[in-house]
């Protein structure tokens, strides 16, 4: 275990002005707080925070970060409190420790939700101070180095979490050395046999290729020196997890990998990088498709370098990275390389592109999603492989590999994504689900009033897009329910003979236990709150005599709230509309001359999250007399008035809605109907049935057949027709066929 003086010496080695008293106080405080606590390995628990601090001294971090590392487990695992940390040390250190402390009590949440909530807390703390991230990554690294002492099941869970979240997070922050070690430690715990096999193959290859690597280093350095370029050339072998990932991704064997060794060329100036590239490419042939310039187009984590692969000395494929000394330091240490010293005191530069990306991402992910969704979206955002695309104005957009124009649109702006209806890629119209490639120029076509389809959520690959689509569709559905609820309440107050206004409803919110009138409208629209209860809340002396009478209809009397005949249509935007054509209603709300009630509700819904749907067994078509049944959380189901299924709702009058059809004579929409046939069992009988439907421009959606006897077959056909007249014509023609003994319409 590291001694007190050793910790101080490590910090003062790079920061001579370090606060020795503060470091000593933290050491003693943490040692006393952890006392006799032991780790799973049997070592004193206090050894762990000291090792975390040691990792951070290698990154040359400031006193507050080192002290926070020493104290990071005290509030979570000992009797120490945050108030005490603030008092004994500083509020700055207390804030860092708080960001690293897990939430202890999480009521009524799953383990995955707890994981997500803790991760949300961590990321929000990181957004406030990036040093929290550096301590957390060092903490995870030391835990992974000692993971062998944990039970097998816990090892696998922690290793998978590290691979899913912390290694990609280190990568996004540009800390490649730390990322690679986290990946390898996860790999050895998740797939120990595979790791051992690859490690042995790499060891054997390294022994055989040692002279070859040295030879390539010498040849490269000599070529560059001859061109007057001072450069350091270093060869390195790729690590086991990197090798295994490439084998899996490209489905190749170990022997087929030709770039196990990589070489780094380090020069002093940016322009020298391109001069070195010229020497390399004019000396050895370049491998097509293997050149990337991350100097002119840096990665979001500030990584800058030129990548190229050539057929080098001894006909070996050589993978090269050409960069400056500063780029090399940022490439290895990432955000930690931005520790600057001013007046003897260190400051982390928050201008880092990686840190700015992280803060923007956290702000987007923190907008109201559940803990599980937050964790899922964060994983999506941490994917490493990227493609770089451009807007027509030349703005660079970096996206995960596999991203589509939908992801691109949301990366530009949430409003652009929500209103996207089409895309052009490199000037050509392309589907919104086209996978984007490096260098694509993407132009998004938009339409006002567009709502993103809910199906997009499962098709996009960025967390930002997925979260925005989910919010937009939830918002759209809520607006639909609220609109329906408002119409239901308008009619309910009219029937009760009471005045209705938003102001009156606001006065009743406490009695309805809702925060806003919009909440009330949405609850009524969903069927979670009955309209009569709202009337009573606004007018406490109101008695709904109509409801009581309607709950016990007399034999032979019409069902409550039943509507008359009309027509239904689906608009081109897939909006379901139900309204009445025809005569106006009387002032008292009664229908004139037997015409349907003009006070009936025009119902609208979207096909992706339908508020209005048809009866599952038989549907309804224009010309049918219909009624709407409100189901809590599901919306309105439209039944033909003759449907026997309506008997189940006789004692629930609040669920019955007057609905009216709104059909456009020019509409080309079809509606569902079901026919039950008995056909003679002979060759070609079904072909004749199908031909009748085809001749009458009907569309068969589904068919089921069951042999009744040796001579007859029962056939059920779900079909789509224009209206009742169209359906009756098909039925009449079928009845005229010799092979059909009986045909009836099914009304579920």
Location of structure tokens 């400051």: 347
Half-sphere exposure of 559 (CA within 13 A, CB side): 28
How many helices and strands, by DSSP H and E, does the chain display?
28, 23
CB 419 within 8 A of CB 473: no
On the 0-12 / 13-18 / 19+ scale of CB atoms within 10 A, 301 is buried
Q: Which residues are catalytic?
A: 76-77
Q: How far is CA 424 from CA 6, 94, 456, 466, 693, in A?
A: 61, 51, 18, 22, 41
CA angle 371, 372, 374 (to 5 degrees): 65
Q: How far is CA 231 from CA 221, 234, 294, 321, 322, in A?
A: 7, 10, 19, 12, 10
CA angle 181, 186, 189 (to 5 degrees): 130
Paired strand residues for 422: 445
The separation between the first and the last C-alpha atoms of the chain, rounded to the nearest angstrom, is: 77
Half-sphere exposure of 432 (CA within 13 A, CB side): 20
- Report the 10 Å Cβ neighbour count for 337: 21
CA gap 294, 298 in Å, rounded: 5
Q: How far is CA 117 from CA 170, 282, 376, in A?
A: 20, 55, 12
CA gap 44, 1 in Å, rounded: 9
């Amino acid at each position: 275990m590291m001694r007190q003086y050793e910790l101080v010496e490590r910090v003062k080695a790079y920061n001579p002005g370090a606060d020795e008293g503060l470091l000593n106080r933290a050491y003693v405080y943490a040692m006393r707080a952890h006392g006799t606590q032991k780790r799973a390995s049997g070592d004193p628990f206090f050894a762990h925070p000291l090792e975390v601090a040691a990792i951070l001294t290698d990154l040359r971090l400031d006193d507050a970060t080192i002290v926070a590392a020493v104290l990071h487990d005290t509030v979570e695992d000992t009797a120490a409190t945050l108030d005490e940390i603030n008092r004994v040390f500083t509020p700055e250190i207390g804030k860092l420790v708080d960001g690293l402390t897990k939430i202890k009590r999480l009521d009524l949440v799953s383990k995955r939700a707890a994981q997500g909530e803790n991760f949300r807390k961590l990321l929000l703390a990181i957004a406030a101070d990036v040093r929290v991230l550096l301590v957390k990554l060092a903490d995870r690294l030391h835990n992974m180095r000692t993971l062998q002492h944990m039970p097998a099941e816990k090892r696998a869970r922690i290793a998978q979490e590290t691979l899913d979240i912390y290694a990609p997070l280190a990568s996004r922050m540009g800390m490649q050395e730390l990322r690679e070690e986290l990946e390898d430690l996860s790999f050895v715990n998740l797939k120990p046999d595979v790791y051992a096999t690859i490690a042995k193959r790499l060891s054997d290859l390294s022994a055989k290729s040692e002279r070859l690597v040295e030879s390539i280093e010498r040849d490269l350095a000599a070529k560059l020196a001859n061109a007057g370029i001072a450069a350091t050339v270093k060869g390195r072998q790729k690590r086991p997890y990197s090798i295994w990932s490439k084998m899996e991704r490209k489905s190749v064997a170990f022997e087929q990998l030709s770039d196990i060794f990589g070489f780094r060329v380090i020069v002093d100036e940016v322009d020298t990088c391109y001069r070195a590239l010229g020497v390399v490419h004019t000396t050895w042939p370049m491998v097509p498709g293997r050149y990337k310039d991350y100097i002119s187009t840096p990665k979001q984590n500030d990584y800058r370098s030129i990548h190229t692969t050539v057929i080098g000395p001894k006909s070996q494929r050589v993978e090269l990275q050409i960069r400056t000394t500063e780029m090399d330091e940022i490439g290895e240490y990432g955000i930690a390389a931005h520790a600057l010293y001013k007046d003897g005191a260190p400051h982390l530069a928050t201008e880092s592109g990686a840190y700015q990306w992280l803060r923007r991402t956290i702000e987007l992910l923190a907008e109201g999603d559940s803990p599980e969704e937050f964790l899922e979206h964060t994983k999506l955002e941490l994917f490493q492989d990227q493609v770089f695309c451009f807007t027509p104005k030349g703005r660079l957009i970096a996206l995960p590999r596999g991203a589509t124009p939908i992801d691109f649109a949301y990366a530009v702006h949430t409003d652009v994504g929500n209103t996207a209806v089409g895309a052009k890629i490199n000037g050509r119209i392309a589907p919104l689900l086209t996978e984007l490639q490096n260098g694509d120029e993407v132009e998004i076509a938009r339409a006002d009033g567009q709502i993103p389809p809910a199906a997009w959520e499962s098709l996009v690959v960025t967390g930002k897009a997925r979260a925005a689509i989910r919010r937009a569709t939830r918002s759209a559905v809520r607006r639909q329910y609220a609109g329906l609820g408002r119409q239901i309440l308008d009619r309910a107050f009219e029937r009760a003979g009471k005045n209705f206004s938003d102001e009156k409803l606001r006065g009743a919110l406490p009695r309805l236990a809702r925060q806003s009138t919009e909440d009330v409208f949405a609850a009524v629209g969903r069927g979670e709150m009955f309209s009569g209860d709202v009337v009573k809340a606004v007018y406490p002396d109101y008695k709904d005599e109509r409801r009581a009478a309607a709950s016990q209809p007399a034999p032979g009397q019409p069902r409550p709230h039943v509507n008359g005949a009309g027509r239904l249509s689906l608009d081109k935007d897939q909006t379901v509309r139900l309204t009445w054509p025809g005569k106006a209603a009387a002032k008292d709300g009664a229908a004139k001359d037997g015409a349907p009630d003009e006070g009936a509700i025009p119902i609208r819904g979207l096909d992706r999250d339908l508020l209005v749907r048809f009866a599952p067994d038989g549907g309804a078509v224009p010309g049918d007399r219909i009624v709407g049944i409100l189901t809590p959380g599901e919306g309105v189901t439209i039944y033909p008035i003759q449907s026997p299924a309506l008997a189940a709702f006789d004692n629930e009058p609040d669920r019955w809605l007057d609905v009216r059809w709104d059909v456009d004579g020019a509409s080309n929409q079809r509606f569902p109907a079901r026919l039950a046939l008995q056909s003679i069992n002979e060759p070609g009988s079904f072909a004749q049935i199908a031909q009748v439907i085809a001749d009458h421009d009907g569309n068969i959606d589904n068919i089921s057949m069951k042999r009744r006897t040796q001579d007859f077959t029962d056939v059920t056909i779900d079909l789509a027709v224009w209206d009742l007249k169209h359906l009756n014509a098909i039925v009449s023609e079928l009845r005229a066929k010799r092979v059909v003994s009986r045909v009836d319409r099914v009304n579920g």
